[in-house]
């Protein structure tokens, strides 16, 4: 499917947004519409409007198309990546496969300071059926070694290289401006974004405007050639509840809105990155402000974490905020693992983070009444009531974990057909007690009498 489509994408402008604006429904749009139970025309119109993006670099030839926007299901991103201290190509590919296995819709390669960064990324893209995102600043600094030596050409060279490799979206920290820097001084934790802090360091040392902001038009030209979407990064996202929703964060958000319009003028797809650490009572306001300042471009948030003291359990604390954020209007959630703030996640941590966030995303989709979002839950209810254990395992978000927990206390194969679990046993199982009672009761006659009584009362 992708090879046939690539032949059709010719000329200087190759983006999904370009074709959507021309009224053309691409094969990617058709595929997504069927997968999401939506009309292809709705997908096209939302892409043209900028409320939905299809991150699909033309060089990622075995990519399964997906979309990020409010009319589609809430998506979940998994962060992986090697560091100078841990991980290698084999480990990163393993993390990628674990991410995809447990439902990641996109994966970000956040390798920083690692050896063989190009080879790691090539291996990840080659093994991935989902879009891959990066923060190019990490490789830029790795190659030039000293942030002071950063040039505009360094930025464009690395972006072009990653685009050629097949990266489908870049996180670009272009919204942090010199005029925002005094606002950072009021914070408890300053700048916690890695890409943002590196960019700010260059700005302060050279007393010059953000280089990504200065050459934003040239960056757009690269994105347009390969159909790389932009994930406009929030350099000033709050790193603690104390800094949440402060002036620094919101002023940068307004700049991201200006950059969004510039990108759309060149038919480059955009989503906006968001916080961070936000108390429960401020989540809705954060989402509403993004929709206003950034013209309803898809919102992509990390968490948000709703408390600062959950170290070791931040995947839980942040999933609470993530479910609320998705309910209020966020289109994609960036997962948080138990290792957040503590260390580089391993394969086990990836699984835990993914499950926490698939629960958050699915819960929001049910609340939003996304078409067919609850079908699987209703089927699970039927399977539970009828003690169909294998069907329950099949429907669970994590079938292996469900089976593992069931078999932990009832390991014999005979209990796969048992009409109880180890929680209550056969004597106190409410399903079993109810079913036995109903067998001894003329349920049809009772229902008939009840309906007749209701009719008379009305």
Q: Is 422 annotated as a binding residue?
A: no
Report the 3 state secondary structure along 393-437: HHHCCCHHHHHHHHHHHCCCHHHHHCCCCCCCHHHHCHHHHHHHH
Residue 385: count other Cβ atoms within 10 Å of its Cβ: 11
Q: Is 368 annotated as a binding residue?
A: no
Q: How far is Cα 228 from Cα 318, in angstroms, rounded to an integer?
A: 28
Q: How far is Cα 348 from Cα 350, in angstroms, rounded to an integer?
A: 5
Q: Is 384 annotated as a binding residue?
A: no
Q: Is 273 annotated as a binding residue?
A: yes
Which residues lie below 8 Å from residue 439, measured CB to CB, with a gap of 6+?
none
Q: How far is Cα 231 from Cα 271, in angstroms, rounded to an integer?
A: 5
Q: How far is Cα 263 from Cα 174, in angstroms, rounded to an integer?
A: 12
DSSP string of 331-370? Answer: -EEE---TTTTTS---HHHHHHHHHHHHHHHHHHHHHTT-
Q: Is 108 annotated as a binding residue?
A: yes
Q: Is 421 annotated as a binding residue?
A: yes
Q: Is 193 annotated as a binding residue?
A: yes
Q: Give the torsion sign (CA, 308, 312, 313, 314).
A: positive
Q: Is residue 385 within 8 Å of residue 378, measured between CB atoms?
A: no
Q: Is 173 annotated as a binding residue?
A: yes
End-to-end CA, the chain: 59
Q: Is 331 annotated as a binding residue?
A: no
Q: Is 406 annotated as a binding residue?
A: no
Q: Is 341 annotated as a binding residue?
A: yes
Q: Is 197 annotated as a binding residue?
A: no
Q: How far is Cα 266 from Cα 15, in angstroms, rounded to an integer?
A: 9
Q: Is 294 annotated as a binding residue?
A: no
Q: Is 355 annotated as a binding residue?
A: no
Annotated binding-site residue numbers: 79, 108, 138, 173, 193-195, 234-237, 273, 277, 300, 341, 421, 424, 429
Annotated binding-site residue numbers for substrate: 79, 108, 138, 173, 193-195, 234-237, 273, 300
Annotated binding-site residue numbers for [4Fe-4S] cluster: 421, 424, 429
Annotated binding-site residue numbers for Zn(2+): 277, 341
């Amino acid at each position: 499917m992708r090879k046939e489509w690539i032949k059709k994408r010719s000329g200087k402008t190759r983006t999904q947004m370009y074709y959507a604006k021309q009224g053309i429904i691409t094969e990617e749009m058709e595929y997504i519409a069927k997968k999401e139970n939506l009309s292809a025309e709705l997908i096209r119109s939302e892409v043209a409007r900028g409320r939905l993006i299809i991150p699909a670099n033309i060089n990622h030839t075995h990519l399964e198309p997906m979309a990020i926007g409010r009319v589609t299901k809430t998506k979940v991103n998994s962060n992986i990546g090697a560091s100078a201290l841990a991980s290698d190509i084999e480990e990163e590919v393993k993390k990628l496969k674990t991410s995809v296995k447990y439902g990641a819709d996109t994966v970000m390669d956040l390798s920083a300071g690692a050896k063989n960064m190009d080879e790691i990324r090539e291996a990840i893209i080659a093994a991935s059926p989902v879009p891959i995102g990066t923060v190019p600043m990490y490789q830029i600094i790795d190659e030039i070694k000293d942030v002071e030596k950063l040039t505009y050409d360094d930025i464009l060279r690395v972006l072009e290289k990653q685009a050629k490799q097949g990266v489908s979206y870049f996180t670009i920290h272009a919204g942090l401006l010199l005029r925002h820097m005094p606002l950072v001084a009021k914070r408890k934790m300053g700048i916690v974004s890695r890409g943002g802090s590196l960019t700010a360091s260059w700005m302060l040392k050279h007393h010059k405007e953000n280089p990504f902001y200065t050459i934003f038009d040239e960056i757009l030209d690269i994105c347009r050639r390969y159909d790389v979407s932009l994930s406009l990064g929030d350099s000033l996202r709050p790193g603690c509840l104390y800094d949440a929703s402060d002036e620094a964060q919101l002023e940068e958000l307004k700049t991201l809105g200006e950059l969004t319009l510039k990108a759309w003028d060149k038919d480059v797809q955009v989503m906006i990155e968001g916080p961070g650490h936000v108390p429960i009572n401020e989540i809705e306001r954060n989402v509403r402000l993004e929709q206003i300042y950034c013209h309803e471009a898809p919102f992509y948030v990390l968490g948000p974490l709703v408390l600062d003291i959950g170290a070791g359990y931040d995947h839980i604390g942040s999933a609470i905020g993530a479910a609320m954020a998705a309910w209020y209007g966020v289109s994609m959630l960036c997962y948080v693992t138990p290792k957040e703030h503590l260390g580089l996640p391993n394969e086990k941590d990836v699984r835990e983070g993914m499950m926490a966030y698939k629960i958050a995303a699915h819960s929001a989709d049910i609340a939003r009444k996304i078409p067919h979002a609850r079908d699987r839950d209703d089927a699970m209810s039927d399977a539970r009531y009828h003690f169909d254990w294998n069907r329950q395992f099949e429907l669970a978000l994590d079938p292996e974990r469900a089976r593992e927990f069931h078999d932990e206390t009832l390991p014999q194969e005979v209990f796969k057909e048992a009409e109880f679990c180890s929680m209550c046993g056969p004597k106190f199982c409410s399903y079993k007690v109810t079913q036995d009672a109903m067998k001894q009761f003329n349920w049809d006659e009772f229902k008939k009498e009840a309906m007749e009584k209701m009719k008379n009362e009305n």
